């Protein structure tokens, strides 16, 4: 069964360095969980998560993580098929990774991927919650610590080696303490020592000393590699190893069985000498060994007695080899490439020659080993696949078997293990894949078992990346493309084109009119057609408005200041009137430009929906602004109407106010004061009445009228005399406190 080692601890304790060495020495897989969180932080930036206001970020901002692929291959980490190993190794990305790890949706997804990978392979993982959350059933849990000062010194040294400079020690110590507090107090999966974890303080230990301590603990738990198979009988690892070579994928022949039986009988005869050899050294299956040819034994026919009973089975020609560890083994003809006859065997293998072979089988009772030259050739040629891994290559292999940890595939005579976590299918669908072919990518060369570890997920990611690259290479500025809106941000919309390629449709490129809220124009899932206006290695700039009619340009090109235009009133507000002049074109009529008269209300003359004539007085193409005027039209009535005091005019009521009536006559607006109403006191909008001009001043845009009839001449004379008498009385008063009451009293007398 696959073993698991969990190494937890604070930042700077040396977890990743130690974990990598342990994985290498135990021939396991090192999974850098921190790199996975850095990869998610990188994608967060790419999809537009705004880190300037951390308090505003919620789980909803990380919904993308559920459809994000993060895989390891050849020591590199791939984000949706893109190698991002170098891009995520920055202080900024490390800080953001610590922040995004606080969100449940992120941790749930990555923990699931980590646990899935740990099911099928021997792993060493390091992080903050590996032993408590990710691998609670780990075979060995280590909690690696170091003092803040030591960790700060290590960090300072790393920074100097990497960039040539680093902050002072006190600053780094403060940063480490802040990071420890953040990691240990976060709500989700805080940094915590597992109850069954072994604590190791690395403050005053070298890396080698820490590694040796962990290896000792590993051996104490019975997990030493010589005694551990990657998969036990329960997971049928023996079947996997037998599938590593073409010969062992077939049912063993009767001939091979007889050869093994004979080898065992001969080895029993030499039991004592073999026990001594076994005490000196052990051998492992699939191990590369060297030795000296002792003897080349020719084949022997089957022997029978008089009764026809087989007394000695037939034996194939073989070579007896003594290994450097004093073990002996047989190399049969069928395990030698291009050996077609015994003559070839005797010609190619001479006693005393040194040979390099692979151990094919080890017998528990101490019998002679079965050796193979074919497996050695395969093992050597298997190394060529490292270049395929480095070049991110893929190949098509046939699925030949289903085991508990995944699928066994065959490719050009090589056995390939496809772990369940690396298959793009549900577990219940795996059995149906047997006999089919699928494209996979090699992610690791397992020389110990002479096989490849492959991944369908990585192959899909590589294929998607290649298709993406080919598609991007086919694009050019000016192309018209179709896509789907995948995400909306304040600054624009992300549009997915073909093969997962995304472009940015900036808010300024959505429409020719200014867009304040994108949600009013576009929604996630909308199909859009855009024009490529920017194209480089990392960004594709799109424009939707480039494909839309430019009504503003057409209008401005055809209009000029001084033109008379007619439009429909769209809005009346306290500042003026918004007028629809043409499709998508609006002009503004300021209140001050509506009429020459003061305190004129637009609502007294027009309502929304009415048609109105105006004149263009300002055109601003950059701001897409048209300013209009009604009062500056050439037929200004104040310039043509001639009125004199006493003239009778026909008036139409606009509005009755507490102080009087606003009216219009001959195209101009005038005012009837309440004191001049006469007999008529109620004026409804639209009422017509006649009035005499009291004052007409076209320069000041003033017209006042009266409806009141003049008094009879006798009354006017009497009132004039009364006024004269009162003035005379006031002038003759000797006392300054004389009042109007005194005047009335005298008048009565």
Characterise 331 by phi-psi region: left (phi > 0), alpha (psi -120 to 50), beta (else).
beta
Neighbouring residues of 26: CB distance < 8 A, sequence distance ≥ 6:
122, 124, 215, 218, 225
- pLDDT at position 234 is 33
Residue 232 placed within a domain: no
Distances, alpha carbon 714 to alpha carbons 694, 725, 744, in Å:
22, 16, 21
Residue 394 placed within a domain: yes
- pLDDT at position 112 is 85
- pLDDT at position 64 is 85
Average pLDDT over residues 332-338: 85
For residues 128 and 206, membership in a common domain is answered with: yes
CATH code of residue 292:
2.40.50.140
pLDDT at 710 over 70: no
Residue 440 pLDDT level (bands cut at 50, 70, 90): very high
CB atoms within 10 A of CB 611: 10
Residue 278 pLDDT level (bands cut at 50, 70, 90): very low
Percent of the chain with pLDDT over 90: 23
> Could you give the CA distance from residue 200 to residue 474 in angstroms, rounded to a whole number?
56
Distances, alpha carbon 148 to alpha carbons 160, 201, 572, in Å:
18, 12, 69
pLDDT at 273 over 50: no
Whether 62 and 156 have beta carbons less than 8 Å apart is answered as: no
Residue 128 placed within a domain: yes
For residues 436 and 404, membership in a common domain is answered with: yes
Residue with tokens 């009346």: 572
Q: Taking the complete model, does pTM exceed 0.75, yes or no?
A: no
pLDDT at 506 over 50: yes
Contacts 24+ apart (CB under 8 A), 604-607: 604/654, 604/655, 604/662, 605/654, 606/569, 606/572, 606/577, 607/569, 607/572
Q: Per DSSP, which regions of 559-716 are E strands?
A: 564-573, 576-582, 585-590, 611-620, 625-629, 648-657, 660-665, 668-673, 688-697, 702-706
Average pLDDT over residues 686-698: 91
For residues 83 and 162, membership in a common domain is answered with: yes
pLDDT at 420 over 60: yes
Where is average pLDDT lowest: 124-138, 169-183, 670-684?
169-183
Average pLDDT over residues 648-669: 90
**Average pLDDT across the chain, whole number:** 80
> Could you give the CA distance from residue 270 to residue 264 in angstroms, rounded to a whole number?
10
> Could you give the CA distance from residue 617 to residue 607 in angstroms, rounded to a whole number?
23
DSSP letter, residue 524:
T
Phi first, then psi: what are they for 516, rounded to 5°? -85, -45
For residues 34 and 154, membership in a common domain is answered with: yes
Whether 197 and 8 have beta carbons less than 8 Å apart is answered as: yes
Where is average pLDDT lowest: 181-195, 335-349, 508-522?
181-195
> Could you give the CA distance from residue 716 to residue 529 in angstroms, rounded to a whole number?
85
pLDDT at 263 over 70: no
- pLDDT at position 251 is 26
Collapsing DSSP to helix, strand or coil, 57 comes out as coil
Residue 327 pLDDT level (bands cut at 50, 70, 90): confident
Collapsing DSSP to helix, strand or coil, 187 comes out as coil
> Could you give the CA distance from residue 59 to residue 725 in angstroms, rounded to a whole number?
94
For residues 743 and 681, membership in a common domain is answered with: no
Residue 452 placed within a domain: yes
CATH code of residue 90:
3.40.50.300
Q: Per DSSP, which regions of 583-685 are E strands?
A: 585-590, 611-620, 625-629, 648-657, 660-665, 668-673
For residues 37 and 107, membership in a common domain is answered with: yes
Average pLDDT over residues 357-381: 83
Neighbouring residues of 186: CB distance < 8 A, sequence distance ≥ 6:
101, 102
Residue 429 placed within a domain: yes
Is the Cα dihedral 468, 469, 470, 473 positive or negative? Answer: positive
Q: Render 339-360 in DSSP notation, one character per residue.
A: --SHHHHHHH--TT-EEEEEEE
- pLDDT at position 741 is 63
> Could you give the CA distance from residue 175 to residue 149 in angstroms, rounded to a whole number?
11
Residues pairing with 330 in the sheet: 320, 370
pLDDT at 543 over 80: yes
Q: Which tops the pLDDT comparison, 239 or 480? A: 480
Distances, alpha carbon 254 to alpha carbons 251, 259, 421, in Å:
9, 9, 38
Q: What is the pLDDT of residues 125-136, one digit of tens each?
A: 888 888 888 899
Q: Which domain holds residue 688?
A: 637-706
pLDDT at 244 over 50: no
Which domain-ending residue is among 382, 405, 439? 382
Total structural domains within the chain: 7
Q: What is the pLDDT of residues 455-500, one digit of tens each?
A: 998 898 888 888 888 888 899 999 999 999 998 988 899 999 988 8
pLDDT at 241 over 50: no
Q: What is the CA radius of gyration of the chain?
A: 48
Residue 93 pLDDT level (bands cut at 50, 70, 90): confident
pLDDT at 274 over 50: no
For residues 279 and 341, membership in a common domain is answered with: yes
Q: What is the pLDDT of residues 97-125, one digit of tens each?
A: 878 888 888 888 888 888 888 887 888 98
Q: What is the pLDDT of residues 218-229, one digit of tens each?
A: 877 755 433 333
Residue 703: burial class (beta carbons within 10 Å; 0-12, 13-18, 19+): buried
pLDDT at 390 over 80: yes
For residues 281 and 323, membership in a common domain is answered with: yes
Residue 468 placed within a domain: no
pLDDT at 532 over 90: yes
Residue 186 placed within a domain: yes
Give the β-pairing of 540-543 and 502-506: parallel
Neighbouring residues of 123: CB distance < 8 A, sequence distance ≥ 6:
2, 4, 5, 23, 28, 29, 30, 31, 117
Whether 409 and 244 have beta carbons less than 8 Å apart is answered as: no
Q: Which tops the pLDDT comparison, 734 or 225? A: 734
Whether 163 and 109 have beta carbons less than 8 Å apart is answered as: no
Residue 433 pLDDT level (bands cut at 50, 70, 90): very high
Give the β-pairing of 288-297 and 354-361: antiparallel
pLDDT at 270 over 60: no
Residue 308 placed within a domain: no
For residues 436 and 519, membership in a common domain is answered with: no
> Could you give the CA distance from residue 147 to residue 204 in angstroms, rounded to a whole number?
9
For residues 525 and 581, membership in a common domain is answered with: no
Q: Which tops the pLDDT comparison, 1 or 208? A: 208
For residues 330 and 418, membership in a common domain is answered with: no
Distances, alpha carbon 585 to alpha carbons 554, 609, 619, 620, 743, in Å:
10, 16, 12, 13, 72
Average pLDDT over residues 126-150: 88
For residues 342 and 448, membership in a common domain is answered with: no
> Could you give the CA distance from residue 15 to residue 19 in angstroms, rounded to a whole number?
6
Q: Per DSSP, which regions of 224-326 are E strands?
A: 288-297, 303-304, 310-312, 318-323
pLDDT at 547 over 60: yes
Collapsing DSSP to helix, strand or coil, 83 comes out as strand
């Amino acid at each position: 069964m696959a073993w698991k080692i969990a190494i937890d601890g604070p930042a700077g304790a040396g977890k990743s360095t130690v974990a990598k060495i342990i994985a290498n020495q135990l021939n396991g897989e090192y999974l850098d969980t921190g790199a996975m969180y850095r990869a998610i932080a990188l994608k967060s930036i790419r999809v537009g998560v705004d880190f300037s206001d951390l308090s505003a970020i919620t789980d909803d901002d990380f919904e993308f993580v559920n459809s994000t692929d993060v895989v390891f291959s050849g020591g590199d980490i791939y984000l949706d098929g893109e190698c991002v190993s170098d891009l995520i190794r920055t202080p900024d990305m490390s800080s953001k990774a610590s922040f995004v790890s606080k969100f449940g949706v992120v941790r749930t997804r990555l923990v699931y991927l980590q646990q899935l990978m740990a099911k099928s392979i021997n792993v060493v993982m390091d992080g903050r919650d590996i032993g408590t959350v990710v691998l609670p059933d780990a075979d060995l849990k280590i909690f690696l610590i170091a003092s803040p000062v030591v960790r700060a010194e290590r960090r300072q040294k790393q920074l100097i080696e990497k960039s040539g400079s680093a902050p002072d020690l006190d600053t780094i110590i403060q940063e480490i303490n802040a990071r420890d507090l953040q990691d240990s107090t976060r709500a989700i999966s805080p940094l915590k020592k597992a109850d069954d974890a072994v604590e190791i303080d690395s403050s005053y230990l070298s890396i080698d000393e820490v590694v040796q301590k962990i290896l000792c603990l590993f051996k104490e738990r019975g997990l030493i590699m010589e005694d551990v198979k990657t998969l036990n009988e329960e997971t049928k690892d023996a079947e996997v190893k037998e599938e590593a070579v073409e010969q062992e994928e077939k049912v063993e022949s009767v001939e091979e069985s007889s050869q093994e039986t004979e080898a065992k009988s001969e080895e029993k005869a030499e039991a004592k000498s073999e026990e001594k050899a076994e005490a000196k050294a052990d051998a492992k299956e699939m191990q590369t060994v060297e030795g000296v040819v002792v003897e080349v034994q020719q084949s022997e026919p089957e022997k029978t007695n008089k009764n026809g009973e087989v007394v000695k089975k037939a034996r194939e020609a073989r070579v007896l080899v003594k290994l450097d560890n004093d073990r002996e083994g047989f190399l049969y003809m069928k395990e030698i490439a291009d050996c077609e006859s015994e003559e070839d065997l005797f010609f190619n293998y001479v006693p005393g020659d040194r040979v390099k072979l692979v151990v094919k089988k080890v017998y528990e009772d101490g019998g002679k080993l079965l050796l193979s030259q074919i497996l050695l050739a395969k093992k050597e040629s298997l190394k060529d696949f490292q270049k395929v891994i480095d070049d991110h290559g893929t190949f098509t292999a046939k699925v030949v078997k289903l085991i508990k940890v995944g699928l066994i595939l065959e490719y050009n005579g090589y056995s390939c293990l496809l772990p369940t976590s690396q298959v793009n299918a549900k577990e219940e669908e795996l059995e149906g894949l047997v006999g089919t072919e699928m494209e996979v990518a090699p992610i690791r060369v397992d020389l110990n078992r002479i096989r490849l570890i492959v991944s369908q997920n990585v192959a899909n990611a590589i294929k998607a990346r290649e298709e993406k690259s080919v598609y991007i290479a086919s694009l050019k500025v000016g192309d018209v493309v179709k896509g789907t809106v995948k995400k909306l941000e304040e600054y624009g919309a992300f549009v997915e084109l073909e093969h997962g390629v995304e472009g940015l449709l900036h808010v300024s490129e959505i429409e020719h009119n200014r867009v304040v809220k994108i949600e009013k124009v576009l929604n996630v899932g909308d199909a859009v057609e855009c024009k490529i206006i920017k194209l480089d290695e990392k960004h594709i700039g799109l424009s939707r408005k480039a494909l839309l009619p430019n009504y503003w340009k057409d209008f401005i090109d055809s209009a000029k200041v001084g033109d008379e235009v007619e439009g429909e009133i769209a809005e009346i507000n306290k500042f003026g009137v918004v007028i629809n002049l043409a499709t998508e074109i609006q002009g503004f009529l300021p209140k001050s430009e509506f009429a020459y008269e003061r305190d004129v209300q637009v609502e007294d003359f027009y309502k929304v929906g009415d048609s109105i004539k105006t004149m263009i007085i300002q055109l601003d193409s950059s701001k897409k602004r048209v300013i209009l005027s009604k009062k500056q039209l050439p037929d200004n009535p104040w310039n043509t109407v001639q009125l004199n005091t006493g003239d009778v005019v026909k008036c139409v009521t606009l509005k009755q106010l507490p102080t009087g009536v606003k009216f219009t006559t001959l195209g101009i607006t005038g005012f009837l004061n309440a004191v001049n109403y006469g007999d008529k006191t109620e004026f409804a909008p639209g009422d017509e009445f006649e009035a005499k001009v009291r004052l007409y001043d076209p320069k000041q845009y003033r017209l006042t009228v009266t409806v009141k009839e003049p008094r009879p001449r006798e009354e006017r004379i009497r009132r004039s005399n009364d006024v004269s008498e009162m003035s005379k009385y006031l002038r003759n008063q000797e006392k300054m406190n004389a009042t109007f009451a005194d005047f009335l009293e005298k008048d009565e007398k």
